[in-house]
Amino acid sequence: MQDISPIANMEKHLIYLSLHGCRNLTSIESLSNCKRLREVNLTELVKLEDISPISVCKDIEVLNLSDCKSILSIQPLQSLAKLKDLDLSFACEKFEDVDFCPLGKIGNLEKLNLKRTCISDLKILTSCRKLRELNLSECRQACDLNPLRVIPLTKLIRPEPADHPQPF
C-alpha cells in the first residue's frame, strides 16, 4: 500500500488504525483528518520520515512507531497530551541526532519502549511522572540511569549490564 488517502473519508468514525507492514508508505498526511483516532499502529513503515500529521489527532492514547527507521523528528508527539503508550523501538536508529526532548512533554505517558534507539540523556524523562514501564534494552548510549530514580517505574528493562555496569 502506498496511498492511504481513502482513509480521510472515514474521519468521523475511525478510532483504531493499523498500517503495520506498509513498507512502501511514505506519507500519513491523510491521518490529519482522523481526529477521533485513539490507537494507531504504524509498525514497519520503514520509509516514513514525517509523522507531523498525527499531531492533530489529540485523542491518541496508544501509538506504535516500532521499526519506523526513517523518522527524522519526534517533535510532533509532544502535542499528544492523552498519549499513554508509545513504542519507538528500532525507530530513528540510523539517526544519532534525533531530539528526544519532546518525550518529556507527554505528561500522561505510562508505557514507553525505546529499545535500540539512540537516546542518551534520560533526564528528559523525569517530567513523565506517570511513567510505569520503560524499555531501554540495546540503548547503548543511555549510560546514566540515575535520573530515573524520581520516576515511580514498576518495570524497567535497562541496557545490558555487561555494557553499562551501574547499579539502579
| Structural domain contains residue 38 | yes
Domain with residue 102: its CATH number is 3.80.10.10
Specify the number of domains making up the chain.
1
Provide the domain limits for residue 85.
5-157
| Structural domain contains residue 163 | no
Interval 12-67: pLDDT, tens: 789 999 999 999 999 999 998 888 999 999 999 999 999 999 999 999 999 999 99
| Structural domain contains residue 165 | no
| Structural domain contains residue 130 | yes
Can you tell me whether residue 134 is helix, strand or coil? Answer: strand
| Structural domain contains residue 164 | no
Q: What is the reported pLDDT for 12? A: 77
| Structural domain contains residue 162 | no
Q: What is the pTM of this model?
A: 0.90
- Residue 95 sits at the vertex; the CA angle it makes with 109 and 162, to the nearest 5 degrees, is 75
